[in-house]
Chain A
Amino acid sequence: MKHTFLKISLIALVLTSFSACRDALEISPRQSIDATSALNTKDGINAAVVSVYSRFKSVRMYGRDLIALPEAMADNGFATNKSGRLLAEANNVYRAHFGDALWSACYNGINQANLVLEAVPTATDAGITAADKTSWIAQMQFLRALYYFDLVKVYSYMPGATVPAQDKGGIPLLLKGVSSSDAAIARLPERATTTAVYNQIVTDLLAAEAALTFPGSGTSFANKAAAQALLSRVYLYMKDYAKAKQWADACITLAGSRLSNASSYVAQWRGASHNETLFQFALATNAENNGVNESLQTSFTTLTAPGNTTVTGGFGDLVPTLSLLTQLGITIPGGNTTTNFGLSAAIASRSVDVRNQLYEPGTSGRGTSKIECTKYIGKNGFINLDNLPVIRIAEVYLNRAEAMSTPGSSVFNATAALADLNTIATNRGLSAFSSTGTALYEEVLNQRRLELAFEGHRFFDLKRLGRDINKAPHYLNLAFTDIRVLAPIPTREVDGNKKIVQNAGY
Chain B
Amino acid sequence: MRKILILLCGVLLFAGQLSAQNRTVSGKVADASGNAIANASVIVKGSRLGTTTNASGNFSFSVPTSAKALIISAVGLAAQEVVIPANGTVSVTMEMDDRKMEEVIITGYQTRRKRDEAGAVSTVRGKEIENLPNPSLDKALQGRAAGVLVQANNGIPGGGINIRIRGTGSFLAGTQPLFVIDGVQLNTRSDANYTESNPLAFLNPNDIESIDILKDAASAAIYGAQASNGVVIVTTKKGKAGKTKFQFNTYFGQATALRKLEVLNSQQLFQLRAEAVGNVNNLPASNLDIRRFVLNEYRIPITNVTTDKAALDAINALPTYDWQDAAFKSGAIQNYELSAAGGNDRTTFRLSGSYNVQEAIVSKANFKRGTMKLDLTNKATDRLTLSTSINASTFDQNVPFATSGSFLGSPAFASATVLPFNAIYNPNGTYFGVPPANIAGVLNQNVIAVNEFNKGFNRTNQLVGNITADYKLRPWLNYRAFFGLDYRLVQGNRFTDPRTPDGFNRKGLGQVESEWNTNLISTQTLNFNFNVEDKHKIDGLVGFEYRKENQEGIGATAEGFPTFQFTTLNTAATPLSTTEFFTGYRRQSAFTNLNYNYDGKYIVSGILRYDGSSRFGEQYRYGLFPSLRLAWNIDNEKFLENSKWINSLRLRASYGITGNDQIGNFDGLGLYGAASPYSGAPGITFSQLANPELRWEKNKTTNLGIDFSLFNNKVFGSVEAYDKITADLLLSQPVQLTTGFSSITRNVGSIQNRGIELTLGVQPIRSLSPGGFNWTSTFIFTFNHNRVKKLYADLIELPGDPSTRVGRSIGSIFTQQYAGVNAATGRPMWYDTLGNVTYQPQNRDRVYVGDSQPDFWGGWTNNFTWKGFTLDVFFQYEYGRVASDGQVNFMIENIARLNSFVDVYDNRWTTPGQITWYPRMNANGAETKGSSALSGSRPLFRADYIRLKNVTLSYDLNSDLIRRLKIGSARFYLQGTNLWTSSDWFSYDIEFVGTSTGIIPQSRNITAGIQIGF
Contact = CB atoms under 8 A, between A and B. Distances in A.
Contacts of A83: 442
Contact of A187 (B5, B735, B843): B735
A492 B679 contact: no
A100 B737 contact: yes
A273 B733 CA distance: 43
Interface stretch (B8-16, B221-229, B770-778, B967-975): B8-16
Interface string B733-746: 11111111110101
B336 interface: no
Interface in A15-74: 16-18, 20-21, 24-27, 29-36, 38, 44, 46-48, 50-51, 53-55, 57
Chain A, interface residues (CB within 8 Å), range: 35 or more
B2 A495 contact: no
Contacts of B526: 10
A412 to B, nearest CB: 39
Nearest to B671: A32
Given A38-B684, A81-B895, A383 B297 contact: no
A94 B679 contact: no
Contact of A53 (B580, B581, B678): B678
Interface of B: 1-2, 5-6, 9, 12-13, 16, 281, 289, 292-293, 296-297, 299, 302, 435-438, 440-442, 444, 501-502, 504-506, 526, 542, 544, 546, 559, 574, 576-577, 580-588, 590, 612-614, 621, 665-666, 669-691, 733-742, 744, 746, 795, 797-801, 840, 842-843, 895, 897, 923-926, 928-932
B929 A94 contact: yes
Given A20-B2, A93-B931, 4 more contacts: A35-B688, A91-B926, A112-B685, A187-B736
A461 interface: no
A292 B441 CA distance: 17
A28 B734 CA distance: 25
Contacts of A18: 588, 590
A220 B801 CA distance: 39
A10 B543 CA distance: 10
Interface stretch (A160-168, A227-235, A256-264, A280-288): A280-288
Interface stretch (A308-316, A351-359, A416-424, A427-435): A308-316
Interface of A: 2, 6, 9-10, 12-14, 16-18, 20-21, 24-27, 29-36, 38, 44, 46-48, 50-51, 53-55, 57, 81-84, 87-88, 91, 93-95, 100, 103-104, 107-112, 114-115, 172, 174, 177-181, 183-185, 187-189, 220-221, 282, 284-288, 292, 304, 310-313, 338-339, 342-343, 364-368, 382-383, 476, 490-493, 495-497, 505-506
A9 B477 CA distance: 14
B679 A282 contact: yes
A492 B926 contact: no
A81 B675 CA distance: 33
Contact of A496 (B587, B678, B734, B925): B734
Contacts of A32: 666, 669, 671-674, 687-688
Contact of A24 (B546, B670, B688, B926): B546
19 contacts: A13-B544, A32-B688, A34-B672, A47-B675, A50-B682, A87-B924, A104-B742, A178-B739, A180-B689, A285-B680, A288-B676, A288-B677, A310-B436, A339-B289, A339-B293, A343-B296, A365-B437, A366-B438, A383-B506
B800 A57 contact: no
B685 A172 contact: no
B736 A53 contact: no
A34 B739 contact: no
Nearest to B614: A25
Given A88-B926, A94-B840, A54 B932 contact: no
A174 B737 CA distance: 11
B682 A47 contact: yes
A178 B840 contact: no
Question: Lowest 6 CB-CB distances: which A-B pairs, in order?
Answer: A492-B800, A111-B740, A496-B799, A51-B675, A50-B683, A35-B670
Given A38-B684, A343-B292, A491 B671 contact: no
Nearest to A110: B740
A9 B13 contact: yes
A189 B736 contact: yes
Contacts of A87: 924-925
B689 A27 contact: no
A25 B740 contact: no
A313 B505 contact: yes
A208 B737 CA distance: 26
Given A88-B932, A312-B436, A51 B683 contact: yes
A166 B675 CA distance: 38
Nearest to B2: A17
Contacts of B799: 491-493, 495-497
A48 B682 CA distance: 9
A352 B336 CA distance: 77
B476 to A, nearest CB: 12
A202 B672 CA distance: 30
A321 B687 CA distance: 42
Contacts of B671: 29, 32-35
B5 A54 contact: no
B293 A342 contact: yes
Contact of A51 (B289, B504, B685, B741): B685
B588 A27 contact: no
B706 to A, nearest CB: 37
A447 B574 CA distance: 41
Given A51-B684, A93-B932, A366-B438, A26 B614 contact: yes
Contact of A181 (B542, B691, B738, B928): B691
Nearest to A312: B438
B800 A491 contact: yes
Contact of A506 (B281, B501, B675, B843): B843
Given A36-B670, A497-B736, A91 B928 contact: yes
B740 A367 contact: no
Given A54-B678, A107-B738, A2 B16 contact: yes
A109 B738 CA distance: 10
Given A25-B588, A187-B735, A20 B580 contact: no
Contacts of B669: 29, 32, 34-35
A21 B864 CA distance: 57
A175 to B, nearest CB: 12
A115 B686 CA distance: 9
Contacts of B9: 9-10, 12-13
B764 to A, nearest CB: 53
Contacts of A16: 2, 5
A174 B673 contact: no
A88 B798 CA distance: 28
Nearest to A24: B588
Which residue among A17, A81, A112, A221 has the maximum number of chain B CB atoms within 10 Å of its CB?
Answer: A17
Contacts of B438: 312, 365-366
A367 B440 contact: yes
A343 B442 contact: no
Contact of B297 (A24, A54, A108, A368): A368
Given A10-B542, A107-B738, A476-B928, A54 B800 contact: no
B913 to A, nearest CB: 26
A132 to B, nearest CB: 14
Contacts of A112: 685-686, 740
Nearest to A499: B736
Contacts of A94: 840, 926, 929-931
Contacts of A29: 582-583, 665-666, 669, 671
B925 A88 contact: yes
Contacts of B746: 181
Contacts of B740: 107-112, 114, 177-178
Given A366-B444, A491-B800, A31 B673 contact: yes
A33 to B, nearest CB: 5
Given A33-B671, A50-B683, A94-B929, A26 B586 contact: yes
Given A9-B13, A34-B669, A286-B574, A84 B897 contact: yes
